[in-house]
Structure 1
Amino acid sequence: MRHTVTGNETYKVLLVEDERWVRLVLREVLKETGLPFRIVQECGNGLEALDWLKENNAHLVLADVKMPVMDGLSFVEQASRLAGKPSVVFISGHDDFHAARQALRWGVVDYLLKPVEAEEMAAVLRRWMAEREKGGSSAAPSPAAADETSLIGRVLRIIHSSPVHALSLSDIAAKVHMNPSYLSQYFKQHTGTNFIDYIVGLRMEEARRLVASTTLRICEIAERLGYNDTAYFSNAFKKATGQTPLEYRKSGPKSCS
């Protein structure tokens, strides 16, 4: 089911945030954007929001990551199963970055870093409206179409939609039209993680999965992940897991989620 807005109607927003004062601030920030969005319901946690969505609908959900009872991550996972599921934008603190990253895999369309400014929210909402008009409200926006206010969100979408072996700072910087050195500093500032460490972490996640669940040779896995030197790959793998790839494979079945 697709919700549509025509004429002078406004987009309906569900706000999910456990702190009342933050809800008040976000309500005012939304008004300051001057865009056709209206908060129709406020909930204090993800479970309340799910219950509301079963009987009502919204075009967009603004949801905090950290909440009691049911956090934003669990909410997004369960909301993805609802008929006529709304788009979700996360409201994230710096310390919630890794959770926000994980949520991108479940279709979160964007996220805003606290404290949220009207300009930043407006940029996210405009992108959402533009994608909706093109018929894909959940699709990632073109990097050139957005401004710097949601740079990290755009970078993360590019990273997670690209083959892990093809990820490089220079390539991603080119896609968002930025200097690689500046992007590296910006990424560290907004995520608390070095860009290279982040990419290595993703490669090691995939490496653990391939080592544990396939019969590929270690040199083949290394090549798939962009490592030309198998010994270098094995050392990186041991640093990340405490075991060599062969030791990890021999240690038996394990979760690679």
Structure 2
Amino acid sequence: MFSILLVDDEKWVRTTLKWSIKQLNLPFQISHECANGLEALDWIKQNEIDLIFTDISMPIMDGLAFVKELRQYNGDQDVIVISVHDEFQFVQKAIRNGVTDYLLKPIEENDLKFCLEKWINKRKGEEEKKNDAFDVNEELPSSTIEKVLQYIEKTPLAQINLKEAAEKVHMNPSYLSQLFKQQLNKKFVDYITEIRMKEAKRLLLYTSLRISEIAERVGYSDLAYFSNNFKKITGSSPSVFRKSAD
């Protein structure tokens, strides 16, 4: 079974979509539901998921900001955006950020089925490529991870992402993510977050940069998400952390 995360601020939309997916009798299960992008990002950091359905218009963090932040950290989750006709220009922006597909409201059952079956076929093709990579890749895992660490060290924090790291070592992002955890005992996203927070603390203590500028410099385009992560890791908000050093 493939796992799905539903992200929409309207509970009735999530309920309807969940029911519709179940009626199709395809190999999917709804693993979790979130009401906005920020909530979804926090959940994804602690959980594995195959496919994400997200609305475009949501409070706190909308679908576009969610996809942008997601791509900066993971890169291996497929995303299908849900929108109304008037939002199609936003759908185009989402597609440029690597969204897999889109559905227009109200969602028709045939459109939903076609979209999910297309995704299954895409996933099967990726699995075949991954199996081929197992056969042809002769590098030792430690050598591969060493190359990834070199990429991380040489790349500006705002530009680091799993997809590009995987391309550097000619590997599927999902497989690299698994290998990274096996070798370093932590997820790729957690490793990068630690580096970003360490640099953020340094910038807060030793520069006069605004917090929004620091967030962008260490790889967060959404200030609220940066502040939320910073507080979770350090126990205080960026502004309180900066003041505590005075």
TM-score under structure 2 length normalisation: 0.50
What is the aligned partner in structure 1 of residue 120 from structure 2? Answer: 129
Paired residues, what number? 128
Q: Return the alpha-carbon distance in structure 2 between the equivalents of residues 11 and 123 of structure 1.
A: 16
Give the SS at the match of 1:69.
coil
Structure 1 residue runs of 4+, over 3 Å off? none
Q: Compute the displacement of 1:34 (Å).
A: 1.2
Note the alpha carbon deviations across 1:93-150, whole angstroms, 9 max, x for none. Answer: 111111001111111010000011221111001111111111189xxxxxxxxxxxxx
Q: 1:63 aligns with which of 36, 39, 54?
A: 54
Give the SS at the match of 1:61.
strand
Q: Return the alpha-carbon distance in structure 2 between the equivalents of residues 131 and 75 of structure 1.
A: 23
What is the aligned partner in structure 2 of residue 116 from structure 1? Answer: 107
What is the aligned partner in structure 1 of residue 187 from structure 2? Answer: none
What is the aligned partner in structure 2 of residue 234 from structure 1? Answer: none
Q: 1:86 aligns with which of 47, 57, 77?
A: 77
Q: Return the alpha-carbon distance in structure 1 between the equivalents of residues 77 and 127 of structure 2.
A: 12
What is the aligned partner in structure 1 of residue 66 from structure 2? Answer: 75
**Structure with greater helix share of residues:** 2
Q: Return the alpha-carbon distance in structure 2 between the equivalents of residues 18 and 136 of structure 1.
A: 33
Q: Return the alpha-carbon distance in structure 2 between the equivalents of residues 31 and 113 of structure 1.
A: 19
Residue 136 to residue 116, structure 1, CA distance change in 2 (3 Å): farther
Give the SS at the match of 1:135.
helix
What does residue range 24-35 of structure 1 map to in structure 2 within 5 Å? 24-35=15-26
Give the SS at the match of 1:35.
coil
Residue 86 (structure 2) pairs with residue 100 (structure 1): no
Q: Return the alpha-carbon distance in structure 1 between the equivalents of residues 127 and 65 of structure 2.
A: 24
Q: Compute the displacement of 1:83 (Å).
A: 3.0
Q: Can you give the 5+ residue segments of structure 2 that lack an aligned partner in the other structure? A: 129-246
Tell me how large the CA RMSD over aligned residues is: 1.5
Q: Compute the displacement of 1:26 (Å).
A: 0.6
Residue 136 to residue 77, structure 1, CA distance change in 2 (3 Å): farther
Amino acid at match of 1:17: D
Q: Compute the displacement of 1:84 (Å).
A: 5.7
Matched-pair identity in %: 45
Q: Can you give the 5+ residue segments of structure 1 that lack an aligned partner in the other structure? A: 1-9, 138-257
Q: Return the alpha-carbon distance in structure 2 between the equivalents of residues 85 and 131 of structure 1.
A: 13
Structure number with larger C-alpha Rg:
1
Give the SS at the match of 1:26.
helix
What does residue range 132-151 of structure 1 map to in structure 2 within 5 Å? 132-135=123-126
Give the SS at the match of 1:125.
helix
What is the aligned partner in structure 2 of residue 20 from structure 1? Answer: 11
8 Å Cα contact 1:87/1:108 also seen in 2: yes
8 Å Cα contact 1:33/1:119 also seen in 2: no
8 Å Cα contact 1:89/1:111 also seen in 2: yes
Q: Return the alpha-carbon distance in structure 2 between the equivalents of residues 93 and 32 of structure 1.
A: 23
Give the SS at the match of 1:112.
strand
Q: Return the alpha-carbon distance in structure 2 between the equivalents of residues 26 and 126 of structure 1.
A: 16
